[in-house]
Amino acid sequence: MNVDMTSDSALILYHTDGCHLCEIAEALLAEVVASVGVSFGRVDIATDDGLIERYGTRIPVVLRVADRAELNWPFDHRQLDAWLAAPS
């Protein structure tokens, strides 16, 4: 998915290929955002040394672009809903 990095509702999923937890998080995120009409994009941390350093031991991580708030794994449907509903 493409993401508009200037959108207040945009989310970014930091992940890497072959990460089974990232695949689970992406499926959960896709389900939740579809129900609330929010867009999200994916960023593979393997493409950037800075991202590897920042997120390498924490992925998957969801970033809310509007306020740079992060939700670290593990999270479930309820936690993701509550985080999305929190004021940014």
Tell me if 17 is assigned to some domain: yes
Tell me if 49 is assigned to some domain: yes
Question: In this predicted structure, what is the pLDDT of residue 21?
Answer: 98
Tokens standing for residue 13? 């999923």
Q: How many domains does the chain have?
A: 1
Nearest Cα residue to 41 out of 65, 19, 17? 65
Q: Is the pLDDT of residue 2 over 60?
A: no
Tell me if 31 is assigned to some domain: yes
Q: Is the pLDDT of residue 3 over 80?
A: no
Tell me if 73 is assigned to some domain: yes
**Domain assignment of residue 40, given as a range:** 11-85
Q: How far is CA 75 from CA 21, 60, 85, 88, in A?
A: 11, 10, 15, 19
Predicted confidence (pLDDT) per residue in 32-85, tens digit:
988 888 889 999 999 999 999 999 999 999 999 989 999 999 999 999 999 998
Nearest Cα residue to 8 out of 76, 75, 73, 65? 65
Query: Cis bond leading into 87, ω under 30°?
Result: no
